[in-house]
């Protein structure tokens, strides 16, 4: 699978240590818009494997990670480049909008 589920903060730290560019999808199982965004996120992750590592973070399981990055609404995409936030996109959106956002980051 192209998209990796973050299991713990230690797992996340290892991912960002091993990958200079990481796209995080903050989500929750009860979130309808999050479920709607999953196919788009997975498609983009598969299409752009050479550009970034794609991961998902369940905010219910990892509330401290969501808090660390100031995530208050989901779904939220966060782009990290060398552990620095370079972009954030909040809310469900069509694929072309996410593509345009990714192209800026």
Residues 62 and 95: their CA atoms lie apart, in Å, by: 26
Residues 94 and 53: their CA atoms lie apart, in Å, by: 21
SS (H, E, C) 14-37: HHHHHCCEEEEEEECCCCHHHHHH
Active site annotation includes 34: yes
Q: Which of 6, 31, 45, 102 does the annotation list as catalytic?
A: 31
Active site annotation includes 31: yes
Q: Contact 83/91 with Cβ under 8 angstroms? A: no
Q: Which of 6, 23, 34, 80 does the annotation list as catalytic?
A: 34
* Residues designated catalytic: 31, 34
């Amino acid at each position: 699978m192209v998209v990796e589920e973050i299991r713990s903060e230690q797992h996340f730290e290892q991912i960002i240590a091993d990958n200079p560019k990481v796209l995080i999808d903050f989500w929750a199982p009860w979130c309808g818009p999050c479920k709607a965004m999953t196919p788009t996120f997975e498609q983009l992750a598969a299409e752009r494997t050479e550009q970034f590592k794609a991961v998902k973070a369940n905010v219910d399981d990892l509330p401290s990670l969501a808090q660390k990055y100031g995530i208050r609404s989901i779904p939220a995409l966060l782009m990290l480049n060398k552990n620095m936030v370079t972009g954030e996109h909040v809310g469900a959106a069509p694929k072309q909008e996410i593509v345009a956002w990714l192209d800026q980051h």
